[in-house]
Amino acid sequence: IWRGLDVPRGIGISFAERYLQPTSRSQVIIAQCSEGATSIYEWQPAGGLYARCQEIITNIQRDYPTAQLAGILFWQGERDATTAAGPYVPWADLFQHTMRGFRQWYGDNQLPVIYCQLGLDSQPVQYPNWSDVKIQQANVYLSYSAMVRTDDITDVADSVHFGAAGLAEIGRRMHTAYQGLIQ
């Protein structure tokens, strides 16, 4: 079952397939809150994307009262690596603030968070802050979280996005990281 702002893509579907495999569950609900070309600033607790994601989750809980939020999959950073973002974006601090806000709102300070690090930068002129964002992503300090590296995945659709096989692999890696957190 899917609810959200965007059609579920490779990572969500790939993750959900693996999430269901070892269990007796018959379904998984994906609350997909992603929106392309956004900055980490737009995901802050006072921001519109944050509020829309809360609304999606609240509506799912209304329609499926026994559903539990099992974790957060997060992948963002390309926009913050562009010249439009400015010379420095405090990505790690802003990400940690967002995730702590979601955990507090949901009432679970141990809600697993799996996030992706940016992959290889194939356009350094367009994305001058790419390596800065990657370094910050590697230096996030957030309990019950895990970062998934993507810079070795070669299936790309364009200069910053992965192809279907790459997204499926990232979903598998996110599931492996998730399993490591909950065990």
Report mean pLDDT in 10-residue bins for the chain, 183 residues: 51 81 69 85 93 92 88 91 80 97 96 93 85 95 97 86 90 94 91
pLDDT at 24: 64
Q: What six digits make up the tokens of 177? A: 């990281």
pLDDT at 8: 52
Cβ neighbours for 16, distance < 8 A, ≥ 6 positions apart? 8, 28, 30
Q: How far apart are CA 113 and CA 19, in angstroms?
A: 15
Q: How far apart are CA 45 and CA 86, in angstroms?
A: 21
C-beta of residue 40 within 8 angstroms of C-beta of residue 81: no
pLDDT at 12: 79
C-beta of residue 4 within 8 angstroms of C-beta of residue 30: yes
pLDDT at 66: 86
